[in-house]
């Protein structure tokens, strides 16, 4: 049975299911996702934000866009109106708000991280009380004009990233490339779970310190799967048990980790490791992996 929100729109999704971001390069992401996007042109920003909020409105989420130059609130509303047929009804019902970014973030010319994150929390609780599935936010940083504001905003981003854990919120933070330096990209990347860039409608992922180990682990995993599923030079020398053990070695698992996965003792895993290395005439584990994956 389909539930209805107070605004009368179909309700779908829950905390357990991923949310459609509306951003093609990302697809579905879970609640608590903190997205950073660097953009090159005004069109890149506008197209992304409109698709992002359209997906949120269609998923019965409360949406809040903290806009800044180069997009005034009137232009943001006009773009959403063109993409969402019943935008005005949703706006009147309170499902979406458009506010000026500087007004939201700044107070007495300072950014207080706790004040801003508490503000988001209050908005989220109000949205949930009204029956919305959660909250979708985007804020642009074009208004940042000083080093003081930049440092304060970076501290806020780190605080927000921690505060999003377990919350029914998705946040998209947008940064103009024309106003960003290399050090800014590094600072911002550390404060977000996902970092992307859009340059003249072309997308790319930005590799962060957190992403690199994950990519290496995926490469190891694919190598391990190849050991189990495809013939390789010397595979016929191994027993089925040794081949499974070799897959764990390629993954980079320790003898203790591999033993736990395979249901054997670390000592037995070491026995398999020595036998495999002997059969491949490998000097060490690194040499073994190189010979197998070559």
Burial (Cβ within 10 Å: 0-12, 13-18, ≥19) of residue 220: middle
Contacts of 92 (CB under 8 A, 6+ apart): none
Task: Identify which of 144-158, 199-213, 226-240, 271-285 has the greatest average pLDDT.
Answer: 271-285
What are the tens digits of pLDDT across the range 3-57? 334 343 333 333 446 899 999 878 888 999 989 888 888 999 999 999 999 999 9
193's tokens:
């779970």
Query: CA-to-CA distance for 245 and 189, rounded, in angstroms?
Result: 37
Burial 233-266 (b: 16+ CB within 10 A, else e): eeeeebeeebbbbbbbbbbbbebeebbeebebee
Q: Is the pLDDT at 91 greater than 90, yes or no?
A: yes
Query: CA-to-CA distance for 276 and 246, rounded, in angstroms?
Result: 8
Structural domains of the chain, ranges and CATH numbers in brackets:
19-207 (3.40.50.300), 213-293 (1.10.10.10)
Residue found by looking up tokens 């780190």 in the block: 158
Q: What angle do CA 190, 195, 198 make, to 5 degrees?
A: 145
What are the tens digits of pLDDT across the range 103-155? 888 777 777 778 888 889 999 999 999 999 999 999 887 666 656 666 777 77
Question: What integer pLDDT is reported at residue 13 of this predicted model?
Answer: 36
51's tokens:
């698709």
């Amino acid at each position: 049975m389909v539930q209805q929100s107070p605004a009368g729109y179909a309700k779908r999704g829950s905390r357990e299911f991923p949310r459609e971001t509306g951003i093609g390069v990302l697809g579905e992401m879970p609640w608590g996702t903190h997205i950073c996007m660097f953009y090159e042109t005004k069109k890149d920003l506008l197209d992304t934000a409109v698709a992002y909020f359209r997906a949120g409105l269609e998923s019965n989420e409360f949406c809040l866009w903290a806009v800044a130059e180069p997009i005034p609130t009137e232009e943001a509303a006009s773009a959403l109106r063109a993409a969402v047929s019943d935008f005005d009804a949703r706006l009147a019902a309170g499902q979406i708000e458009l506010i000026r970014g500087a007004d939201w973030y700044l107070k007495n010319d300072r950014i207080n991280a706790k004040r801003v994150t508490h503000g988001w929390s209050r908005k989220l609780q109000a949205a949930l009380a009204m029956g919305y599935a959660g909250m979708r936010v985007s804020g642009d940083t074009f208004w940042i004009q000083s080093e003081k504001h930049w440092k304060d905003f970076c501290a806020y981003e780190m605080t927000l990233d921690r505060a999003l854990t377990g919350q029914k919120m998705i946040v998209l933070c947008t940064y103009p490339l024309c106003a960003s330096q290399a050090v800014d990209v590094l600072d911002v990347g550390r404060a977000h779970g996902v970092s992307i860039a859009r340059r003249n409608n072309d997308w790319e992922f930005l590799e962060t310190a957190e992403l690199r180990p994950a990519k290496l682990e995926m490469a190891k995993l694919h190598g391990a799967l190849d050991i189990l599923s495809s013939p390789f030079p010397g595979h016929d020398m191994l027993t089925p048990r040794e081949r499974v053990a070799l897959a764990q070695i390629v993954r980079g698992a320790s003898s203790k980790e591999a033993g736990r996965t395979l249901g054997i003792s670390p000592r037995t895993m070491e026995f398999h490791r020595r036998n495999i290395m002997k059969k491949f005439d490998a000097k060490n584990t690194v040499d073994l992996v190189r010979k197998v994956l070559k």
